[in-house]
Amino acid sequence: AAGPAGFYLGLSLALASSALIGGSFILKKKGLLRLCCRGRVRAGQGGHTYLQEWLWWAGLLCMGAGEAANFAAYAFAPATLVTPLGALSVLVSAVLSSTFLNEQLNVHGKIGCILSILGSMVMVIHAPQEEEVCSLKSMAEKLKDPGFIVFAVCVLVSSLLLIFVAGPRYGQSNVLVYVSVCSVIGSLSVSCVKGLGIALKELFSGKPVLKEPLGWVLLVCLVICISIQMNYLNKALDIFNTSVVTPVYYVQFTTAVMMCSVILFKEWQHMVLDNIIGTISGFLTIVFGIFLLHAFRDMPFTLDLLPLFLQQGRGDLDTSWRSTDKHQSRQHQPLLPSEDKGSQREEEDSESM
């Protein structure tokens, strides 16, 4: 498939991938919860009874199908489009978890979901639709480009500095260190995936791809890159909260992939300025949506609190605010009108007694 047909096929695969990966988390979680209700040993405590649960296997198969669809999408659609749409899996997971797992999706999360959808639509409208690399031969020529060689050297040098210099000093305290390693190496892994996708496309069309050394080199590089990514992403998740790591990783990884695509595949070469601005705007909209979805996930803020800020009567405001629980009032206190410091101090003393 080439031209618009290939673009829409790649877009469909990317959307299907997000739906399958997002749904896989819900199926796995549902399976683990069923085991917990039966009194089985939980996975977090070293148990492996989830291997006997069909829902968990269904989730694993969904994830595998989603990753396969994502892999195939790179063969047909530009990486500038496929990679940012991966954020929709987070959105799907959040919406389904609020529906099937009774996990609360607050106002910030709902706004984040809407922003992610709008940003994705803007990116689809303005994304480059013509592929610049359609064969392994053209891929080999692109890899020899001086611009990409400089980019690859910068990626490798920065990764080594982050791993051996910044890692031992700041890795335990700064989330950017290990996440940056995953992100910059990830830009190379996506290039390898795209090259392998093109190789598979040529293989199915009957060309002697297996005799080409480039395909095997890309496969080895992909395995190395993914191993490094998994290692340092696990380190980041072990040290820092998931709600912090996920949005930071998404932003850095997608930015690195888009830079690599611009340099290696020249995907923006034939785009007019309007489409470039639209693509960047759509990406930034998704970034803000993912930030709202994750950063305020545990904040107990509901629609019931919104009218409080619009009320004119100060007495009604104070009464309504005191009826909410203490945790909510402390988190939202700076947004309220300032009260008399003496009365605040008396309230705190009475609560502590």
174/321: higher pLDDT: 174
Q: Do 278 and 99 contact (CB within 8 A), yes or no?
A: no
Based on the fold, state whether residues 61 and 181 are members of the same structural domain: no
Residue 335 lies in a domain: no
Based on the fold, state whether residues 262 and 145 are members of the same structural domain: yes
Based on the fold, state whether residues 111 and 181 are members of the same structural domain: no
- Domain residues for the domain of 18 are 1-117
Q: Is the pLDDT score of 65 beyond 70?
A: yes
Residue 199 lies in a domain: yes
* pLDDT at residue 307, as a whole number: 60
Residue 68 lies in a domain: yes
Residue 294 lies in a domain: no
> Which of 32-36, 53-57, 112-116, 269-273 is the most confident on average?
112-116
The DSSP call for residue 135 is S
Based on the fold, state whether residues 85 and 194 are members of the same structural domain: no
Q: How confident is the model at residue 129 (pLDDT cuts 50, 70, 90)?
A: low
Residue 309 lies in a domain: no
Residue 288 lies in a domain: no
Given 247, 266, 285, which residue is the final one in a domain? 266
132/92: higher pLDDT: 92
Nearest to 321 by CA among 299, 343, 297, 337: 337
Structure tokens at 340: 């008399």
The DSSP call for residue 172 is T
Which tens digit of pLDDT belongs to each residue from 317-332?
455 445 544 444 444 4
pTM for the predicted model, two decimal places: 0.69
Residue 272 lies in a domain: no
The H-assigned helical ranges of 209-265 are: 213-239, 242-264
Given 206, 241, 266, which residue is the final one in a domain? 266
